[in-house]
Chain A
Amino acid sequence: MTTIRRFCCNDLLRFASVNLDHLTETFNMSFYMTYLARWPDYFHVAEGPGSRVMGYIMGKVEGQGESWHGHVTAVSVAPEYRRQQLAKKLMNLLEEISDKIDKAYFVDLFVRASNTPAIKMYEKLGYVIYRRVLRYYSGEEDGLDMRKALSRDVEKKSIIPLKRPITPDELECMVDRFGWCNHSSYQLVTSCVFYLFLSLLILVLLRYNISL
């Protein structure tokens, strides 16, 4: 029983049951609101009867040329609503928006290398491990970059796995280098200053004289 609609600020006050799960990160406000301000079509919530929050997905679209892709930043379901394929429905929605509206080449996501249940689920949804990112999570755990090709990538070039693992520094961050493009926890830890002080971020924009 899933009403899937755009996520709005008030949902931040209602998603505690989802976020108290230890694997679900609760980001700071500018993080969520940046996603809402920039990619509102990539941030959806699923509601059950009584308007209970069942789960949500947040993501974005970014990259240039053939790297133009949808990205899943977080997807999480409350314990009460698990084992009902809700994550799948949410993922499908994001894929559809990336595919049909934004005409992206692929969708990607990062997952802890140790999170076997999640990896299995993504594989079931058609994602393949594209590459391993060394010490991506807080400089400790490796991350896996998983991808699924969309209809625009006819030859499925975007998902041919890389042979060697890469380091977080090698991750191309295609929108800009100032933290908008979040590579999930890695960026969160290493450059949280950007999120903490939004004005600093604008400083950086100023510095490179990116016009508003």
Chain B
Amino acid sequence: MASKFGLAGGIPERRVRPVWDAIDSRQFKNALKLSTALLAKFPNSPYALALKALILERMGKPDEALSVCLSAKELLYKNDSILMDDLTLSTLQIAFQRLDHLDLATSCYEYACGKFPTNLELMMGLFNCYVREYSFVKQQQTAIKMYKLVGEERFLLWAVCSIQLQVFCGNGGEKLLLLAEGLLKKHVASHSLHEPEALIVYLSVLEQQAKYGDALEILSGKLGSLLMIEVDRLRIQGRLLARAGDYTAAASIFQKILELSPDDWECFLHYLGCLLEDDSSWVNGVLNDPIAPPKFLDCKLSHLPDEMFDSRISDASAFMQKLQADTSDNTIRCPYLANLEVERRKHLYGKGDDDKLMEALMQYFFRFGHLACFTTDVEVFVEILTPDKKTEFLEKLMKSSESPSPVPAKALGQSITLLKVQQLISKMYKLSESELEGSACQMVETYCKNLPLSKDLDPQESMYGEELLSMVCNVLVQLFWRTRHIGYFVEAIMVLEFGLTIRRYVSQYKILLLHLYSHMGALSLAYERYKSLDVKNILMETVSHHILPQMLVSPLWVDLNNLLKDYLKFMDDHFRESADLTFLAYRHRNYSKVIEFVQFKERLQHSNQYLMARVEAPILQLKQNADNIEEEECVLESLKYGIHFIELSNEIGSKSLTFNEDLPSRPWWTPTSEKNYLLGPFEGISYYPREDMTKDREANIRRVIERKSLLPRMVYLSIQSASALLKENIKVNGSVSGPKISSDLKFLLERYAKLLGFSFSNAIEVVVGVSGGQKPSSTIASDLIDWLNFAVFLNAWNLSSHEIAQPDGNGHGHRPGAWHIVDSLLEMYVLEKVRSMDPQICSPCVDLPILVQLVTEPLAWHVLVLQSSVRSSLPSGKKKKKGGSDQPNTPLSHAIRDSIQSVCGTVEHVTKWLREQINRPEDENLETILSFLHKKGQNEGGPGQVFKILETSVSSINETQLGERISQAVKAWSPVDVARKIVTGKCTVASKFLKICESKLKSLHAMKQQIAQV
């Protein structure tokens, strides 16, 4: 290229360098100056223009940048003599991409390639454009052209990947794979293959067509030596053999792998599966969700004759014996756990022997019982035992613990395992309260007693016995659920806070605390704990489910806004850069990653959490600005009046959602964000096993998104409807006229009603019935917020529709009845929630989120309708002076006035309650909290026992035993501080909510004054 001889885009490089230096050092003003000077010298250089456009874009002037880009493009097209090099085009491409005009960049490259059809560099640029656009067919065509031009292996593979992408991520039929295979075959015949990744792709093309034999032949031929890691090659071979149904050969390959890496558990499962001729993990289409694989591996065994089963099983056992004997590495668990799996298969076959299984479990315990992963390792196997045998197993374990390991850390590990198995087997809910209390006390005692073990550890290292405190918390919460005695709950908090004082890095404690604080209504404190987890980047997708759902219904808008903004930015950034990374994989010839990257991007794009956040972010904006109709209208304008969200609502039904949340890290009482057992009565559930709820969740979340994404548009139309009321048929925003608003809003109301499970007319009947007291208030309790939204929008629609029959029969001109419905519903439910709120400081605030939603959603939208009505009834501006004919519509004005009055009263109930909460003396609050922890009598049960053990251990620390660091930390622990934090946390939430209410009141009072002047 020209630039290789000191020219960059036709300009001597020494002239371009200063511009780049300025860009590099982010001195964009200077860069602009230099580039303008450059342009003066080279006015017809598209490269100089592209540079300028880039700088302008970086300076935040997208419009100017785009126009400069377009001039550059025009120059390129117009003047045939102009140098058309890749440097110019790729610079232009970046500018276009940053300006969200990928299509223009592509067309530049298409044009250039048309002119210079043999220029490989340009074609690669064009290929890159198609990668960015996810145009797989065009990618394929371009790659083939390049391949024909130079015959290089990599371009062929680019084409093959593009074909695979059409099949997996596009609409290409599987027949296309035949084409890919043909291309590869021909190339291999003439040139062979030189890259391991090329071979992997070749094999995958064959495998995808179920041509296992062909694939195996290639793998065992000369090409097979491209795969230099032997285990990797064997894994592919074993898989191909198994899929081909040659189980004997496959089993012997997996056996070979196990000889090379005896700890490979997955391989062992394949080995055993093949030995037993079980195809369940090889059949096409039974792909499990790679993110949340099932705990219980499915097996198909019934087809094997009895003797054969026995002999295969004994082969497997013998091989495991051999592996055990051959290995000296005592960290290798696989050959030992394998014994358990063998017993499980026997059980599934109908030849189970509980005693043998128990024996194998005991053996595993003797060897690995001290490891933290023991319980999760054996969980699925313990499940098989009958209840009696489980108890027997537990007894055996207890007996063995009478002679613990002489190594203290190991002995501690074993005793923790024992406690964990106890929880696993006895299912917490079956234990009596005193048994539970006893077990919690025992755990805390063990923790305190073993603190000296961690004396010499680095503060960064996990301490011995850390998980004990999480287990204590689990038991205490179970006790709370059962007895409803808040003392247990507070105790759980104290225990974990104690643990964090000693070592502040334990993320498990933080997660548990976050949920405890959330449940208590001290959400600001929960959020603090969440922040201390330092959740960022991809962890936002997998971890933020711990806090996001609670935040969405809280008054902590600033924090929520940050959460949503950071998360959406992360996801959108990834979607933007993902194609570049895909191209990087192409360039570095890691073809298998190409497909992986594209599929991964799709997975994230379908993330339920992402779609939810995309709807919730604008709704939050609407909530935040709802007290000022002008600001709200600006927000709505920026949201294109909610039209895109209607599209989302239309599409969501056909979208498959992905669930990427790391659910196993959630506490037992809330296995998903939709579920919280503590809200319901005690029903005998503890944390094993967790059900897979993905299917239910998917349907539920689809419904929620479908409903929520209608909101922005409905808010917009309601405002319009209310203002169109007095200015009939005035064109609004130049497009939507009164009747159109009315019909649009009606259409959405019908849809909204349908989503609530009712026809439009039935839904009206429901709200009328409930507001008038003919139907019980519980009728709409399950979807309360949605129903009230419906009532609010119904009233707004009614203002301009003139359709609805008078609900209460007393026909005033503008149907104040509909106003009344909204007013009374809001009042009824707000009062109900305020009354139901427990006045105690540390009681869980179950109803607070609903109250917050009532005020910040339906009530807020209704205040907007009021604002819009008041505004349009005011003698405002020039129009009024000119026309001057608008008479205040008396019945309507009355209705508006009454409604304002009523809403004011409703909000005041809330503010009164909030002030009471906030103004309660702190000492009183602290005393209440701490009183739960101190038992009155000596021998009664109840909360406080665990806490007492902590207090005792704090007061009797032995500094020489514990070491300075831990002693200092223990001394620093202050339950009063924890209690104070809880109080402050709750007050913070109350104050934020109060602020929101006060702002609403202010807006309502202003309206009162305005309407009084009419």
Query: Do A16 and B460 touch (CB < 8 A)?
Result: no
Query: Do A80 and B94 touch (CB < 8 A)?
Result: no
Chain A minimum-CB-distance residue to B533: A20
Query: Do B376 and A34 touch (CB < 8 A)?
Result: no
In the complex with contacts A21-B507, A37-B588, A203-B94, A2-B264 CB distance below 8 A:
yes
The yes or no answer to B491 lying at the interface (CB within 8 A) is: no
Per the CB 8 Å criterion, the residue count for chain A at the interface is: 63
Query: Do A12 and B121 touch (CB < 8 A)?
Result: no
Per the CB 8 Å criterion, the residue count for chain B at the interface is: 87
Query: Do A37 and B593 touch (CB < 8 A)?
Result: yes
- What is the CB-to-nearest-CB distance from A120 to chain B, in angstroms, rounded to a whole number? 9
Among B121, B290, B587, B597, the residue within 8 A (CB) of A33 is B597
Binds A, one of B141-149, B178-186, B538-546: B538-546
Binds B, one of A49-57, A136-144, A160-168: A49-57
The yes or no answer to B882 lying at the interface (CB within 8 A) is: no
List B residues 433-482 near A (Cβ within 8 Å): 457-458, 460-462, 466
Query: Do B87 and A209 touch (CB < 8 A)?
Result: yes
In the complex with contacts A26-B537, A47-B266, A34-B584 CB distance below 8 A:
yes
B residues in contact with A100, CB < 8 Å: 228
Among A9, A85, A101, A212, the residue within 8 A (CB) of B600 is A9
How far is B290's CA from A3's CA once the two chains are assembled, in angstroms? 15
Q: Return the CB mask of B216-237 against A: 1 if under 8 Å, else 0.
A: 0000000000001100100100
Query: Do B460 and A115 touch (CB < 8 A)?
Result: yes
Among A16, A37, A209, the residue within 8 A (CB) of B542 is A16
How far is B265's CA from A3's CA once the two chains are assembled, in angstroms? 6
The yes or no answer to A202 lying at the interface (CB within 8 A) is: yes
B residues in contact with A212, CB < 8 Å: 121, 124-125, 128, 587
Among B229, B541, B582, B593, the residue within 8 A (CB) of A97 is B229
How far is B596's CA from A35's CA once the two chains are assembled, in angstroms? 14
Chain B minimum-CB-distance residue to A53: B662
B residues in contact with A115, CB < 8 Å: 458, 460
Query: Do A14 and B373 touch (CB < 8 A)?
Result: no
B residues in contact with A85, CB < 8 Å: 331
Q: Return the CB mask of B590-621 against A: 1 if under 8 Å, else 0.
A: 10110011011001000000000000000000
Query: Do B263 and A2 touch (CB < 8 A)?
Result: yes
- What is the CB-to-nearest-CB distance from A205 to chain B, in angstroms, rounded to a whole number? 9
Interface of A is mostly: helix
Binds A, one of B573-581, B673-681, B867-875: B573-581
In the complex with contacts A20-B543, A50-B293, A37-B585 CB distance below 8 A:
yes
List A residues 1-33 near B (Cβ within 8 Å): 1-6, 8-10, 12-14, 16-17, 19-23, 26-30, 32-33
Query: Do A49 and B290 touch (CB < 8 A)?
Result: no
How far is B126's CA from A212's CA once the two chains are assembled, in angstroms? 12
Interface of B is mostly: helix
- What is the CB-to-nearest-CB distance from B997 to chain A, in angstroms, rounded to a whole number? 37
The yes or no answer to A63 lying at the interface (CB within 8 A) is: no
Q: Return the CB mask of B920-938 against A: 1 if under 8 Å, else 0.
A: 0000000000000000000
How far is B54's CA from A49's CA once the two chains are assembled, in angstroms? 51
B residues in contact with A16, CB < 8 Å: 539, 542-543, 662, 665
Chain A minimum-CB-distance residue to B660: A13
Query: Do A117 and B458 touch (CB < 8 A)?
Result: yes
Query: Do A198 and B580 touch (CB < 8 A)?
Result: yes
Chain B minimum-CB-distance residue to A115: B460
The yes or no answer to A81 lying at the interface (CB within 8 A) is: yes
The yes or no answer to B372 lying at the interface (CB within 8 A) is: yes
In the complex with contacts A1-B333, A117-B461, A9-B597 CB distance below 8 A:
yes
- What is the CB-to-nearest-CB distance from B239 to chain A, in angstroms, rounded to a whole number? 12
In the complex with contacts A30-B577, A79-B372, A212-B124, A13-B597 CB distance below 8 A:
no
B residues in contact with A3, CB < 8 Å: 264-267
- What is the CB-to-nearest-CB distance from B1000 to chain A, in angstroms, rounded to a whole number? 39
How far is B583's CA from A33's CA once the two chains are assembled, in angstroms? 11
Query: Do A82 and B462 touch (CB < 8 A)?
Result: yes
The yes or no answer to A64 lying at the interface (CB within 8 A) is: no
Q: Return the CB mask of A100-128 against B: 1 if under 8 Å, else 0.
A: 11000000000000011100000000000
The yes or no answer to B380 lying at the interface (CB within 8 A) is: yes
Among A22, A27, A28, A38, the residue within 8 A (CB) of B590 is A38
Query: Do A29 and B537 touch (CB < 8 A)?
Result: yes
The yes or no answer to A36 lying at the interface (CB within 8 A) is: yes
Query: Do B334 and A1 touch (CB < 8 A)?
Result: yes
Query: Do A206 and B373 touch (CB < 8 A)?
Result: no
Chain B minimum-CB-distance residue to A32: B538
- What is the CB-to-nearest-CB distance from B155 to chain A, in angstroms, rounded to a whole number? 13
Query: Do A204 and B24 touch (CB < 8 A)?
Result: yes
B residues in contact with A50, CB < 8 Å: 293, 295, 376, 379-380
How far is B662's CA from A92's CA once the two chains are assembled, in angstroms? 29
A residues in contact with B587, CB < 8 Å: 212
List B residues 744-773 near A (Cβ within 8 Å): none
Chain A minimum-CB-distance residue to B374: A80
How far is B507's CA from A23's CA once the two chains are assembled, in angstroms? 11
- What is the CB-to-nearest-CB distance from A70 to chain B, in angstroms, rounded to a whole number? 14
A residues in contact with B291, CB < 8 Å: 10, 13-14
Among A2, A30, A37, A80, the residue within 8 A (CB) of B372 is A80
- What is the CB-to-nearest-CB distance from B335 to chain A, in angstroms, rounded to a whole number? 10
The yes or no answer to B134 lying at the interface (CB within 8 A) is: no
The yes or no answer to A40 lying at the interface (CB within 8 A) is: yes
B residues in contact with A29, CB < 8 Å: 537-538, 570, 573-574, 577-578, 581
Query: Do B538 and A12 touch (CB < 8 A)?
Result: yes
How far is B261's CA from A4's CA once the two chains are assembled, in angstroms? 9
For the complex of A and B, 4 pairs with smallest distance between CB atoms: A9-B600, A37-B585, A20-B507, A3-B266
Known: A48-B373, A199-B98. 15 other contacts (CB 8 A): A2-B263, A3-B264, A3-B266, A10-B291, A26-B538, A29-B581, A36-B593, A38-B588, A79-B372, A79-B462, A101-B229, A199-B97, A202-B94, A206-B90, A209-B4
Binding site for B on A (CB under 8 A): 1-6, 8-10, 12-14, 16-17, 19-23, 26-30, 32-34, 36-38, 40-41, 47-52, 79-85, 97, 100-101, 115-117, 196-199, 202-204, 206-207, 209, 211-212
Task: Provide 9 A-B residue pairs closer than 8 Å at the C-beta atoms, listed in order of the A residue.
Answer: A1-B332, A2-B263, A22-B507, A23-B460, A36-B585, A84-B331, A211-B1, A211-B86, A212-B128
